[in-house]
Amino acid sequence: MGPRAGALANPGLILVMWLTAHWSRPQAEGFSQGGLDASRADTWASANTSLLQGFWCQPASQLSQDQLSALIRRMASQQVLLKAWQLSCLANLAARRGLQGDFALHPPDLLLFYNLAQVREADCRAFTRRAAQGDTELLANLPDQRAALQHLALACLGGLPPRLSASDLLLLGVLVCDMDASSIVASDPHVLQNLQRCPRLTPAQQAALNTLLARGRTMLGPPSSWNLEGLQALGPLAAYISPSLWMQVQEAVGLAFFGSMVATYRTGTLSQRDARRFVTSFLEAKAKSLSSRPKRGTGRPCVRGNITAATLQDNLFLLHYDCSQLEFCLGSRVLRANLDPLLQHPLPAECQRVVKAKLAQVYPSGIPEEQLQLITSLVYLYSFTEIGQWNITSRNTVMALLASDVALENQTEAILQKFLDHKGRVTSALLVAIGGSRLCWMSPQQIQAIQPSEFRLAGALDISSCPQSRKNVLYTKAREAFGSTRTTAAYYRLMRPYLGGAPVEELQYLAQANVSMDIHTFTNLNPQVLQNLSVDKVTTLLGQNVGDLQKARSHPAISSWLRSLNRSALGELGLDTDPSSPSGPSGPTRLTTTIPNTIPWAPHLATTSRRPGNEAPTSGSPPTHLGYLPLAVALPSSLLWLLYWGTLGPGGDCSWGTCTMASEHSNVPAPHAGKLGLVDGAGRLPRPLCKPPVHGTWPRPTC
């Protein structure tokens, strides 16, 4: 058996071949096209979006400057959405290759992670305008970088002007989302276009928005002159309009806009959060404008007429039937036959409770499974005991119930348990469908019941939002699934999402392996474990990314660790001697413009309870209506790298772009050696024989 046959026996490649055999032909062809052969300078310029989303810094570090530049430009042209951990290390890699100056051709999201101290004054406005097109939520774990970006923007303006002009707002872009209410109120009316890009507004910013609208100096004019087209042009901002303003809008305009918002919600293009916020405000205005309103509990009969299937098709249904009339006028037979169209309306919480009570009357022994798939918006109302009455036998039911963003911790565990009690199994497809954040709410026993093979096939799941106790359990499960990985590089790639539960021994091992951990992963480590790492270990663990500590020094976990260090240690890290300082010795930028001490930026929002009307942004897997996301769609982008590392064979590990000469029997000990079936009996990961990488051979260096 020759060397080629031996390579085919590699477990990583076997897994890839097994998976591709189960994909449709177009997917398999997309995965296997030779678009990533670095021996050709134009290769990266033609890589498809799926492959680019699987970007991984360590193998990319072997690209030449021209190839890396082509890769980044391709990402920009294809509008590839990368995660924060990918962007942070890519920004550092681009800076080391001298590519930061080409920022005009780079993705806006990438600019958010660049070293702002290297932005030339002549490029200030162009850089800020480009960066302000990005998603600043990606900087959630880098508070100091976000603050430095705000300082840079003000420096470009020569300080905060008394009133932000239209041109100023064009420069600031999404950065306006971090501004305080007084600055928003004092801005040119074009500020509405900036605010439309904000994922959410603080209460103070909402008040500022309503002040602007009430003054009548925006494109809409005074509320009494608003029209349907103007309101629709507000986009998501319409959900923040106060009841007092809705009372001033002409009735015909208000009704037309209400109907259009409900229609948009029913087609799935308006979020449940925004729809419910709008409906609640509008109905409150309607209630105040009426001289009388039927009160719940007065015994008043149905005065609007019985609700029928045709009634529920009307987008103005909620204007005709308030929650008390819903209780009186909705019959059991109509509810049973029309549950889906009823719940397609953005019901206020009070009306949702009415529907839940009626369902209990119609189904005293528990809601039938075919109806369960329709009540996703009501799941948060049910207790563990009530869910215990349900009969859940289908994976589709689980995905429907947990794909909703309103199911909470108690509901997640209970729904999965009912499924498991009926001999259900948590498969990789189910894990991908419900997202990594749902793992946070599974019980430890449910997590342990997941087969390692299914965990492996699920790929990288984002568990950064999990409590520490769950991260610890998930780390153990990940070790069970990935502990026998044959190369350090592949092991780290697979384990990276789960290192938040890693013990100090694991991190010391990874530091020894020179993995160059990205700052996003580092901020998600167990804070107590982090306290046990020395400066030398942290410096080695972060490797080429150690400079990113400056961008995250106010992050709670980082700040706590820095406070434990003396001045000498801080100096070794290149930080100033005051751990509480928001910026380094040289400040956030090289610009000579004086920046005012009082910066008009609003404090960043804290994560809130994910109840209707009060949802936090999802921090797990990207929102998809999972329902029915096939595994073949979820995995190809990441398996590119598995193919690469897998084909190195049992003796290959040019892990980090620099191959180390080693004797045939030289080994690097794996963490927890011998516990989880690592490659050899001694529990060691093989340290391969490697030659120095040959230029132009990526992604298959000579080892």
Output 133 or 589, whichever has higher pLDDT.
133
What pLDDT score does 675 carry?
Answer: 39
**What is the token pair recorded at 548?**
């990113």
pLDDT tens profile 203-256: 999 999 999 999 999 999 999 999 999 999 999 999 999 999 999 999 999 999
pLDDT tens profile 524-544: 999 999 999 999 999 999 999
At 601, the pLDDT band (50, 70, 90 cuts) reads low
* CB of 242 closer than 8 Å to CB of 212: no
What pLDDT score does 577 carry?
Answer: 52
At 694, the pLDDT band (50, 70, 90 cuts) reads very low
What pLDDT score does 600 carry?
Answer: 60
Local structure of residue 682 (DSSP, 8 states): T
What pLDDT score does 499 carry?
Answer: 97
Local structure of residue 546 (DSSP, 8 states): G
**What is the token pair recorded at 191?**
């500020």
Look at residue 656 and tell me whether its pLDDT is greater than 90. no
Look at residue 701 and tell me whether its pLDDT is greater than 70. no
Look at residue 607 and tell me whether its pLDDT is greater than 60. no
pLDDT tens profile 341-378: 999 999 999 999 999 999 999 999 999 999 999 999 99
| Residues β-bridged to residue 495 | none
Look at residue 184 and tell me whether its pLDDT is greater than 50. yes
What pLDDT score does 340 carry?
Answer: 96
Output 572 or 149, whichever has higher pLDDT.
149
What pLDDT score does 404 carry?
Answer: 67
Residue 611 φ/ψ, nearest 5 degrees: -95, 160
Look at residue 436 and tell me whether its pLDDT is greater than 70. yes
Dihedral sign for Cα atoms in the order 85, 86, 89, 91: negative
Look at residue 164 and tell me whether its pLDDT is greater than 90. yes
Look at residue 603 and tell me whether its pLDDT is greater than 70. no
Ranges 68-77, 543-552, 587-596: which has the least confidence: 587-596
Distances (CA, A) of 599 to 53, 153, 603: 36, 11, 11
Q: How far apart are the first and last CA of the chain?
A: 19
pLDDT tens profile 18-45: 333 333 332 333 333 333 444 444 455 5
Mean pLDDT of the chain: 79
Q: Which residue has the tokens 């029209």?
A: 227
Ranges 262-276, 555-569, 665-679: which has the least confidence: 665-679
Q: What is the mean pLDDT of residues 541-551?
A: 95
Distances (CA, A) of 460 to 83, 135, 422, 456: 12, 22, 28, 9
What pLDDT score does 609 carry?
Answer: 38
What pLDDT score does 157 carry?
Answer: 92
At 574, the pLDDT band (50, 70, 90 cuts) reads confident
- What is d(CA 554, CA 552) in angstroms, rounded to the nearest whole number? 6
What pLDDT score does 289 carry?
Answer: 82
Q: Is 363 helix (H, G, I), strand (E, B) or coil?
A: coil
Output 173 or 609, whichever has higher pLDDT.
173
Output 107 or 49, whichever has higher pLDDT.
107
Look at residue 631 and tell me whether its pLDDT is greater than 80. no
At 88, the pLDDT band (50, 70, 90 cuts) reads very high
At 642, the pLDDT band (50, 70, 90 cuts) reads very low
* CB of 439 closer than 8 Å to CB of 474: yes
Residue 302 CB: number of other CB atoms within 10 A?
A: 17
**What is the token pair recorded at 238?**
């319409």
* CB of 636 closer than 8 Å to CB of 27: yes
Longest dimension (CA), the chain: 90
What pLDDT score does 391 carry?
Answer: 94
Look at residues 78, 155, 163, 79 and name the one whose alpha carbon lies nearest to residue 123. Answer: 155
What pLDDT score does 635 carry?
Answer: 37
pLDDT tens profile 248-288: 999 999 999 999 999 999 998 999 899 999 999 999 999 98
Q: What is the pTM of this model?
A: 0.77
Look at residues 410, 345, 406, 437 and name the one whose alpha carbon lies nearest to residue 612. Answer: 406
Look at residue 293 and tell me whether its pLDDT is greater than 80. no
pLDDT tens profile 469-486: 999 999 999 999 999 998
Q: What is the mean pLDDT of residues 408-436?
A: 91
What pLDDT score does 144 carry?
Answer: 96
What pLDDT score does 361 carry?
Answer: 95
Instruction: Identify the top-confidence range among 449-463, 623-637, 680-694.
Output: 449-463
